[in-house]
Amino acid sequence: MVALATASLVAAAAVVQKPGTESWTEPSGAMGQAHGDILTTADYYGIQVVRLWEYGKHPCVLRAEQSTFATRMLGLLDPLKACEPTVGEEWKQADVGSGKYITAIATCTSKVKDDSTVHGIELWGATVESDGALKPARASTRLTFGECKRWQQKRACPAGAVATGLRSYWNDPAEGIQGIALRCHALEQRGK
């Protein structure tokens, strides 16, 4: 009977977002007068995948996929629209990989002085160990469009934290997204 109870306790342990540890990075790219957020829907999710849609070479839609820390099942989150779709739709995706969660982001802009909009995203990730510790991935992953020429500052979650949300910034909706920040949470093992 004792062995059965021990096995049940071990099986019930799960890695989750640690309450009270939420923080936001500064945006990679520019701040804007307006912003919108994409957030995980429960404390057992982290962000794994980011998609960016350009319409007429304007970054208009940001979308993310959340993944559970325990089973690594993906779930699509509602998109964030900075501008309305027009002709010339193109989208690209960056995925840090199954069982990995985003820990840092950098955006890319064009060389044109007046164009501060995002034309590329680079993501860094980490694997979450069973005790909630992070093991950084060996390589980053990128999505880029043709106008991507100048990489902006990398913004990272605090040590031991993963991305649990994205915030995109813009000034003129017709121009599109010009900066992206991460919402971060430290992790803890619950149910030991």
Model confidence over 118-133: pLDDT tens digits? 999 999 999 998 888 9
Model confidence over 30-41: pLDDT tens digits? 999 999 999 999
User: Which structural domains are found in the chain, ordered by start?
Assistant: 2-190 (2.100.10.30)
pTM more than 0.95: no
DSSP 88-133: SEEEEEEE--TTEEEEEEEEEE-SSTT-----EEEEEEEEEPTTS-
**82 and 63 Cβ atoms separated by less than 8 Å:** no
